Amino acid sequence: MTTTIKPTSRNQQLFERSQKLIPGGVNSPVRAFKSVGGTPIFFKRGQGAWLWDEDDKSYIDYIGSWGPMVLGHAHPEVIAAVREVAGNSLSFGAPTARELEMAETITTLVPSMEQVRLVSSGTEATMSAIRVARGFTGRNKILKFEGCYHGHADALLVKAGSGLLTLGTPSSAGVPAEVAAHTLTLPYNDIAALETLFAEIGDQIACVIVEPVVGNMNLVAPVPGFLESMRAQCTKHGAVLIFDEVMTGFRVALGGAQAYYNIKPDMTTLGKVIGGGLPVGAFGGRADIMQCLAPVGPVYQAGTLSGNPVAVAAGLATLKLVQAPGFYEKLSATTKALMDGLKQAAHQHGIPFSAQSIGGMFGIYFSEQVPTSFDEVMATDKEAFNQFFHSMLDAGIYLGPSAFEAGFVSAAHGADELAGTIEAASQAFSALRK
Ligand code: PMP
């Protein structure tokens, strides 16, 4: 009897080779399938809502590079802008007219950002914003919320302590306890805890940094009053309110979550969409705060490739297209229709499941109710998600490889993609029951 040996896929081969040279085989941990198991997919091409892997299998993409690809992949106008600008040199390390155009676009569309500085990643944006807030206030303590991710700067890699005033404990090796000690954490959406903390030590807090809609513990929306209370406390105690809109900026609405909820932060960080898929981040806010930055003020911050012409060209082309009338209405409607379809399919198969979307961002949860806190997200059925994820992946639907990540829809997703996704989900839910 002969046995057929299944040929190893090119994808599998690439992963095996990568693991020898790149820790975990990936250049960012979230890309590994650590929580769902299996082999990460190596992609070679994308077009609109679709991706193709190294084995030529196609997928409908619901990650969108973790947010930037709001227009879908390889949008012709974005690619044309990149091609045109690339021919004139890739970098000058000197000012360009396009950077000014980007600053004008951002400050017009996000009016709380009176002044802005460009960087090359979301991590740089949040790290720099915090430095400015500390320089401006002369205070050291910062407040963040459990389950919010703000990039991988030392002071932000801190998990929540259980007590209100628990000193931060680093959640990564390599972060000195002294650095983390200035980072306070509170549960997201806990208004009473926020008010108590401010009553006790409000005058020591340099800034509060928050994802106004959290996309880094699956999707968690702010409960009514949470952002409002934060705004009021920061004003009362002279702390700088930083909205980290790296993910939500130009994703939940044209003016970001601050427009969606009508709250004006003192500072905002951006990334992802404003680079259209190339590395761009930005931080900005009140002019009096931003004037603390070198070369005008005493807070140092710099970058060799900051405002890179090619990256800015991709971002500008993207920001031009998202300003088309009705862009966000359509994106929101598509995303909501997908959620409705998934909920209905789960319901038909008797699976405890809930879902929500805000603009082009969504959360799906294996729980009866939409979670509103870190603890509730953690209590969702992770095993059910993992099984669902792999059924969907087999069917060519590419979701985030973790029950604790938000999903993303692009303007290129249409009726066909939605129908295909809901059909695949129906099969996946049906398999889940067995
Ligand atoms: N802030 C938020 C809200 C994010 O979602 C991310 C990345 N997912 C970052 C900051 C860090 O951005 P980057 O990965 O570009 O450094």
Q: How far apart are CA 348 and CA 433, in angstroms?
A: 11
Pocket probe for ligand 1: among 26, 156, 213, 246, the residue whose CB has the most ligand atoms within 8 Å is 246
The minimum-distance atom of ligand 1 relative to the CA of 126 is: 10
Euclidean distance between CA atoms 73 and 121, whole angstroms: 20
Q: Which two tokens stand for residue 403?
A: 């029950």
Nearest-atom index, ligand 1, CA of 151: 11
Mean of the pLDDT values across residues 350-378?
A: 97
Of the candidate ranges 175-184, 304-313, 336-345, the one whose mean pLDDT is the lowest: 175-184
Q: For residue 158, name the pLDDT band (cuts at 50, 70, 90).
A: confident
Q: Structural domains in the chain?
A: 10-62+326-433 (3.90.1150.10), 76-322 (3.40.640.10)
The preferred substitution site among 27, 150, 251 for testing ligand 1, maximizing ligand atoms within 8 Å of CB, is: 150
Q: What is the pLDDT of residue 172?
A: 82
Region of poorest pLDDT, from 21-35, 76-90, 127-141, 273-287: 21-35
pLDDT of residue 103: 98
Residue 165's pLDDT is 34
List, in order, residues 6 or more apart from 69 with CB less than 8 Å away.
46, 61, 277, 408, 410
Q: How confident is the model at residue 382 (pLDDT cuts 50, 70, 90)?
A: very high
- Give 359 Cα–ligand 1 centroid separation in angstroms: 18
Nearest to 131 by CA among 216, 240, 288, 280: 240
Q: Is 149 a catalytic residue?
A: yes
pLDDT digits (tens, 9 = 90+) for 50-72: 999 999 999 999 999 999 999 99
Residue 4: pLDDT band by 50, 70, 90 thresholds? low
Q: What is the mean pLDDT of residues 132-159?
A: 93
> Cα 298 to chain center, whole Å?
30
Q: Is 406 in the pocket of ligand 1 (CB under 6 A)?
A: no
Quick: pLDDT tens for 81-97. 999 999 999 999 999 99
pTM for this prediction:
0.96
The response to whether residue 244 sits with its C-beta less than 6 Å from ligand 1 reads yes
Q: What is the pLDDT of residue 52?
A: 98
Residues 30-45, mean pLDDT to the nearest whole number: 93
ipTM: 0.99
Whether 166 shows a pLDDT value over 50: the answer reads no
**Residue 201: CB partners within 8 Å, gap ≥ 6?**
141, 165
Q: Evaluate if residue 173 carries a pLDDT over 90.
A: no
Residue 184: pLDDT above 90? yes
pLDDT at 231 over 70: yes
Cα distance from N-terminal residue to C-terminal residue, the chain: 33
Chain segment 12-31, per-residue pLDDT in tens: 999 999 999 999 999 998 89
Catalytic residue among 53, 61, 190, 244: 244
Q: Is 244 a catalytic residue?
A: yes
For residue 145, is pLDDT > 90? Answer: yes
Q: Is the CB of 268 under 6 A from ligand 1?
A: no
**Is the minimum distance from the CB of 151 to ligand 1 under 6 angstroms?**
yes
Q: What does the alpha-carbon distance between residue 334 and residue 364 come to, in Å, rounded to a whole number?
A: 15
Task: For the chain, give the percent of residues with pLDDT over 70.
Answer: 95
pLDDT of 364 higher than 60: yes
**Residue 265 Rama label (left phi>0; alpha psi -120 to 50; beta):** beta
Is there an atom of ligand 1 within 6 Å of 211 CB?
A: yes
Q: pLDDT, tens digit, for every residue of 116-135? A: 999 999 999 999 999 999 99
Q: How far apart are CA 185 and CA 143, in angstroms?
A: 6
| Average pLDDT, rounded, for the chain | 94
Which pLDDT does position 168 carry in this prediction?
56
